[in-house]
Amino acid sequence: MVECGGLENRCARKSTGGSNPSSSATQTTRSAYCIKMEENALKIGRSGIVAVVGRTNVGKSTLLNALLGEKVSIVSDTVQTTRNIIRAILTEDRGQLVFLDTPGVHKADGDFGRNLNKMARSSVGGADAVLLVLDASKKSWQEDEGWMRRLMKDDTPCVILLNKTDIGTGFIASYKELWANIAAEKNCALKPVWIEASALKGDGLPALTKTLFLMVPEGPHLFPEEILTDYPRKLNMADVIREKYFDRLHDELPHCLAIWIEEIEETQSKWTIQAVVYVERHSQKGIVIGEKGRLLKSVQYQAEKELFEMYGVKMKVKLWVKVEKNWRKNFFFLKKLGYA
């Protein structure tokens, strides 16, 4: 059984009409969440946290979406697509894997980039296993070597996934040689499990989940089984809108663009989302609005369509474009967006 004493105490309600301790209104009540967690405790399998790490654009978000069979993280060829750590939860009869989808490590430019790199590197601490994703179709980068060195600092079990084998496999041997050379230099005995896969095609994913379930400890589910992610709804909606801009603008502007959800007005038949598109300079406003507002309208329409598929409710997205000068260097603004 799971002890939910603290939760039960917070769920307790006392009568406002008197102080009679025997009154039914003074009885401690269990929240539905507490009861659900007790039920989960009876389902003993293997459950644990897996940090998904690697440099940018190696396919981490595509991999998680493929593993869960649902979209929980936005996908783009643009650097810094993932800007927050997203928890994606895979629940099976074997147990539960909680994946931490981290921002891709890259050569940082300014406080914004450094904060994303720091967020990614700190995710390894406390994880039951680490999944390092590499691009098997391209030669290693400095960031790949950096991750290998980081993983050798402790004895956390790790899997190295050689992704994008559908594109090419010519650099697999060089990655393994790089690991062996660093291990010899550092006198490290950590032995990773190497798996070749294609997140896009689904190849190698059954072997990956089997390996990860063997790595995490025995124990009850960490989350109720119906939950796919605990990523805040407003951040998820902002990511969907940002992805639509990435799809249209590619490398023209995305790093200077941020989305903030001001308000969600909910009715039984429709949700209205009020969102702000932030850019850094006035000259950038015209780019995100487009000629005669066409780009803005297209982003609104595409975001409404995808959010409807996610939440099953008709959506109305309203976007306003504002200038926040040099927002990537503004610590308090970054904190507001969840990037610091």
Banded pLDDT at 78 (limits 50, 70, 90): very low
Q: Which two tokens stand for residue 227?
A: 């939950």
**C-alpha–C-alpha distance, residues 178 and 94, integer Å:** 34
HEC profile of 220-271: CCCCCCCCCECCCHHHHHHHHHHHHHHHHHCCCCHHHCEEEEEEEEECCCEE
Specify the residue for token string 């003074």.
26
Q: pLDDT tens across 259-312, in order?
A: 899 999 999 899 999 999 999 889 889 999 999 999 999 999 999 998 998 888
Mean pLDDT of the chain: 79
How confident is the model at residue 155, as a pLDDT?
A: 85
pLDDT at 43 (0 to 100):
53
pLDDT for the residue 334:
78
The fraction of the chain above a pLDDT of 70, given in percent, is 72
Paired sense of beta strands 218-219 and 45-53, if any = antiparallel
Please name the fold of domain 45-219. Answer: Rossmann fold (3.40.50)
pLDDT for the residue numbered 205: 97
* Best CA proximity match to 100, nearest among 160, 148, 54: 54
3-class DSSP assignment, residue 311: helix
Strand 258-266 relative to strand 193-196, pairing: unpaired
User: What is the C-alpha to C-alpha distance for residues 131 and 63, in angstroms, rounded to an integer?
Assistant: 11
- Give domain limits for the chain: 5-41, 45-219, 233-337
CATH no., domain 233-337? 3.30.300.20
Cα–Cα distance measured from residue 66 to residue 104, given in angstroms and rounded to the nearest whole number:
18
Residues 263 and 234 sit within 8 Å (Cβ to Cβ): no
pTM (2 d.p.): 0.62
Which is more confident, 103 or 182? Answer: 182
pLDDT band at 44 (very low <50, low <70, confident <90, very high): low
Q: Of the candidates 221, 233, 214, which has an alpha carbon nearest to the alpha carbon of residue 90?
A: 221
Instruction: Report DSSP letters for 112-147, one per residue.
Output: HHHHHHHHHHHTTTT-SEEEEEEETTS---HHHHHH
Q: In this predicted model, what pLDDT tens digit does every residue of 156-208 receive, in sequence order?
A: 999 999 999 999 999 999 999 999 999 999 999 999 999 999 999 999 999 99
Of residues 101, 82, 66, 77, the one with CA closest to residue 229: 101
Give tens-digit pLDDT for 53-76. 988 889 888 898 899 887 766 554
| 104 DSSP assignment | P
Does pLDDT of 211 surpass 90? Answer: yes
Residues 6 or more apart whose CB falls under 8 angstroms from that of 184 comprise none
pLDDT digits (tens, 9 = 90+) for 121-157: 454 667 899 999 999 999 999 999 999 999 998 889 9
Beta bridge partners, 218, equal 46
Same fold, 45-219 and 233-337: no
